[in-house]
Amino acid sequence: NAINHNHNNNHDHNQCRDGKYERDKLIAAVVAILKRKLEVLPEKDVGDSSTYHTPSSRRGKASPSSSTAISTLSKFLSSAPSEEEHGGGDLHLFVRTTVHAFFDNDLLQTAKLFLENAKGSFGLSISSSLDAHRQVVLAARGQTMSIAFYPKKGLVCYGSEQAAVKAGLNYETPGGNATTDDAHSSEADNAVRLDLDDLGGEICLLDWGYAGDTQPAVSRPNRNLPVETLMNGTIRVVLHHQSKTCRDCHLSQRLTLLERNEFVKPLLDDCPDPILADIRDIPRVCSRIQDDWHDVGLNRMTAWNLANCIRARMKARVDGTIESHGGQVDILVTGCEVSLWVAEQFVADLQKAFPRLFVRCVSSNKLLGLFGQELAMPCTGFPYGKKSLEMKDPIIIIVSHSGGTFGPLACSNLLQSFSSSIFAVTSEWDTQIGKQLRSMYSDDLLSSRIFSTEVGVRPAEPCSVSVVATHQLLTNIFEHICVTIISDPHFRHLSGAVITEHDLQILERCNQENLKALEEIVGVDCQGYEIHERRGRTEKELRSAGDLWSEHILENAKAYIMSFIYIVGTVTAGYPLVTGIATAAGLNTDWAFYITRFLDSLIYFWLPQINVLILRLIQGRNLRHRMVGRTVVIGDCPWVAQAAEAFLSKIFACSYSIAGLNVLSGNPADHLVHRHTHRVVRGSLLVCGRPDGRLSALTSLEASTCLSVNQASSIQSIGGTCESITIGHNKSKLPLSKRAIYLKSHRPLFLCEKVLDDIDAHEDLIRQRKEKIKEEKEKQKNKNVLISLAATLTTRTRSSITNTGNHILELSLSRSRQARQTRSSASLLGAYVNLEKDARKRRNQNLGSHIGDELVTDVINTMVKEKQGIENARRLFNEIDSDGNGLIELEEFIAAYQKKDANISREHLTKMFEEADIDEDGTLDFDEFLKVSKMPNLLAELSVKNRDNRGLVQVQASRERYFGEELRKSVPPGVNSMAMSQSQHFSMELYESRIASMQRFVAMTVMFHQMGMRVQTFFPKISFGLLGYRMDRTHSIMRIATTASPVSGADVRERMDELRLMLKIEKSVQLIERAWKNWKNDQKMIKA
């Protein structure tokens, strides 16, 4: 009351705020009043809590609430002086704090106090009923917060998702814009965005004034903060940094231009079916990514920086400045959810391409738990720890399509303590992660660190185009990394490169041809137009399968409606089915009455099941399926199975329970059988992606997949089992599956396919010849002619058969290459195994071996051949080493090879010499020479050609009619084709992981979308629009951009500083240790 009395009587309360003297007087007066009230409390009448004694012994009355407040206050405060506060102890401190809070705790000061004392990650919007008419405070710490200003619209948008504040770009303001004269609009009228410093913590006060007051209402502790103006001077902005992690700069330098900025993509216009729009946009997006990669753009600049970082890393490995051991990390890839699953496949391919390169893929949540917490969170079940991940300036690639997912965003800050080479794969340039990385390299204009798919924000929560676009861009990045490493012989040797330039050319050819396949799967070409009906067979088949499965899901809802109609109709009419028939037939006896009622009661009891059977009979579906909720099991390689499971489960997230769906997934070549076959029941729905087993490297994989499907489909109950669908490039259908959807292969044949094709053509020729000879013999037997004429006719016939047979060979070869024989996975496996056995037999015959056991023969022959090869190489090495010093110089090497073949150019031989000279000492020892002796001339001539005519590093696509055509022409006579096809095994694996698996995922999204759309549109139809939901939303109300994180990011800022200090100390200790060892070695040498 004393504070209010003083405040109300002071007409110029600003003087009381600003003047320290007046505030001290007020504090002293309040302390004196409270002291007097506290002193009389012991004399108070216990029975009457509303009275107390004053110092003058006068009894007065006080409100019960006031007396109770004083009594409560006396329990915690003492008026006795203390060492810290001689003016009144706890009471003086309490009064002073209360007075300062009364005058100073406005919105800005309150936000400061909260963030200074709170623990956690926050994105705050603070307002007060007293100041809501003029100001609001926004704050960020550990959670992003962005503010967009639209001067023309008179609009301010704020939110924790950066893309959300761009909503003002797409829509007009109700009532028109505040600034309508576009011809005279200035630069200040453009929309801008301010991103608060979430890492260090930042508070922003927005004050738009009131009643002509243009100065922001800020209390005394914060009046030293600078005041900026935005929105053409209508809004004052006051910023406070908790811990300045960003550089001091003017507000205008921190603003991001939203309008007339080619790097900022506006939000997509709303459409009735965002999921369908995303799926149909896949060919166009993939085409643009490929075109952009071949042009000079920011992606190419980022690729150039990535290549420089890889070269620097590999050079450090070659020089020995970076140790090579199992815990070392050369390339670290991280992400969350779908982005992580796609990244895991990328890392798996990269690790197989370079076995001695240490590449790891770790979830952002695990990294945040390990390195971003005061108490590290153990990764139970995973081999990750602070010691097992030794990260000394590794190359880090953060995969986050939204660019704002909490885990990857926090890691983009945290990992700056470990590495200066951080890259991100996102949907556009303007993302939160992009902002953090740009702040790292703000001094270098050419240090682009962002790979962008240019897809932008996709509001549909089921992810389709974002997954495919990320996978496509990672394929291009994979090719670029491979070219960078294999271009240098030292890097190639150090990394143990398995991949070759020819493998990359095959992959690039398949990558380019992939666009045609995607067009046929989604039914739309790269320009966004629907394709011709003849090419749309695949999409129609996928949607037909989706329609069938949607009927499975909707049968309970339809049966419920049919039951409702039957019950209402029969009860209202008073004549159930059997009773009505009996009445119409004239059965009015007592026994008929009870029998008909009994039968009608059974019908009522079994009515839902009866209606389900009626629906299945009408629609031609399986009658033996269980009449319960459906379960869909998805089988494919890990990234496809997990991404497709997430896609389908999100589509049915908001579906009504009567049409709900349970979704599971697994790898059919691994744990699908163990995890899910014991749960297979009649009516379970299984969709499985089949690898292309026509390729010899994938034949066993397809056979394992087909075996898993057959095992699941063979589990029967009452003659029924699960309903399985396979999706793949092999046309053969499994006998136990319901349907096989065939995806057309838009690529040349591999060599193994070509071999089988030729064999089929040859067998077809033999069969046709036999049939022709048999036909001619039958004709000859039926003719009763003279022997002489018969002999003449026989001679002519044989000649005709021979000529006809040659003609048949040409026709058969031509026909077979266009329409190859369809083989099952078991047939393919047997064919390739037989071909491999034949190749082994031929090798054994060439070696003159007669050992019965082929396996022992192969092992012995291989050992003998290797031993003889080394001895021959040693003999040749001694012949070339003319001076006998145990080393071969360049001139000795060139002279010896040109003596053997004068057509070999000096330049070619120099490249071979440099290729083998790993230590770069200008000579070859025997181990290095042994590598040259095993190098075929063909491979040496095919040097890495990785630049186009503009000088850009590009992988040139193969132009062969079938993959391996040039290899087949150039190998020495007698080399088996299957032996040659083994050199393509890795390129076949890359085709499966980078191309074929993507096509199967897109096919599943088309099928699942059709399922979800049929279910979604059913309920509005039967309820006249009263019921309905959107399948592009989920109950969590979260897009991919705001995926929740189970790990806090509150300690990231402190941990960054601590980690930097620890790394500096560790480097210093290592430097001192090396210097000490060098000094001791020098001392030993001096003494010696």
Least confident stretch, 104-113, 535-544, 908-917: 908-917
- The percent of residues in the chain predicted with pLDDT above 70, rounded, is 79
For 593, phi and psi rounded to 5 degrees? -60, -45
Say how far apart CA 451 and CA 397 lie, in whole Å.
10
CB 701 within 8 A of CB 669: yes
Q: What is the pLDDT of residue 9?
A: 38
CA angle 619, 620, 623 (to 5 degrees): 110
What pLDDT is attached to residue 553?
95
What does the pLDDT average to over 710-724?
88
Given a contact cutoff of 8 angstroms between Cβ atoms, the answer to whether 720 and 685 are in contact is no
Mean pLDDT of the chain: 81
The confidence score (pLDDT) of residue 820 equals: 59
Give the C-alpha separation, 678 to 715, whole Å: 9
Q: Which of 738-742, 887-891, 1041-1045, 1070-1074 has the lowest mean pLDDT?
A: 1041-1045
Q: In this structure, are strands 359-363 and 395-399 parallel, antiparallel, or unpaired? A: unpaired
Q: Which residue has the tokens 């099941």?
A: 609
CA-to-CA dists, residue 690 to 702, 704, 791, angstroms = 6, 10, 57
Q: What is the DSSP letter of 535?
A: G
Question: Per-residue pLDDT averaged across 684-704, rounded?
Answer: 94
Percent of the chain predicted with pLDDT > 90: 39
Helix, strand, coil tally for the chain in percent (to 5)? 55, 10, 35
pLDDT of 55 > 50? The answer is no
Residue 728: beta bridge partners? 690, 742
CA 92/CA 604 separation, integer angstroms: 81
Decide: 258 and 193 in contact? Cβ < 8 Å.
yes
Q: β-strand 192-195 against 256-257: which pairing, if any?
A: antiparallel
Is residue 434 within a helix (H) or strand (E), and if so which, with residue range?
A: helix 432-440
936 — pLDDT class (breaks 50, 70, 90): very low
Say whether pLDDT at 683 is over 80.
yes
Spatial distance between the Cα atoms of 996 and 994, rounded to a whole number of angstroms = 6
Q: 1040, 334 in Cβ contact below 8 A? A: no
Structure tokens at 523: 């039914």
684, with CB counted inside 10 A (0-12, 13-18, 19+), is buried
897 in Cβ contact with 891 (< 8 Å): no
Residue-wise pLDDT for 92-101, tens only, equals 888 888 888 8
Q: Which amino acid is at 24?
A: D
Average pLDDT over residues 924-951: 57
Rounded Cα distance, 874 and 353, in Å:
31
Write down the pTM of the prediction. Answer: 0.82
* 755's tokens: 């071999």
Three-state SS letters, 763-830: HHHHHHHHHHHHHHHHHHHHCCCCHHHHHHHHHHHHHHHHHHHHHHHHHHHHHHHHCCCCCCHHHHHH
The two structure tokens encoding residue 427: 């949907």
- 981 and 696 in contact (C-beta within 8 Å)? yes
Q: How confident is the model at residue 338 (pLDDT cuts 50, 70, 90)?
A: very high
pLDDT of 939 reads: 35
Three-class secondary structure of residue 569 per DSSP: helix
| φ/ψ bin of 484: left (φ > 0), alpha (ψ from -120 to 50), beta (otherwise) | alpha
Is the pLDDT assigned to residue 1044 strictly greater than 70? no
pLDDT at 813: 39
Q: Is the Cβ–Cβ distance between 406 and 434 less than 8 Å? A: no
Range in 19-28, 236-245, 498-507, 925-934 with the lowest mean pLDDT: 925-934
The pLDDT value given to residue 616: 94
How high is the pLDDT of residue 1023? Answer: 93
Please report where in the chains the tokens 């990320």 appear, as a residue: 470
Q: Grade residue 465 by pLDDT with cuts at 50, 70 and 90.
A: very high
**Range of weakest confidence among 27-36, 360-369, 957-966, 1007-1016:** 27-36
Encoding tokens for residue 311?
């070269």
Residue 948's identity, in one-letter code, is D
For residue 40, give the amino acid letter. Answer: V
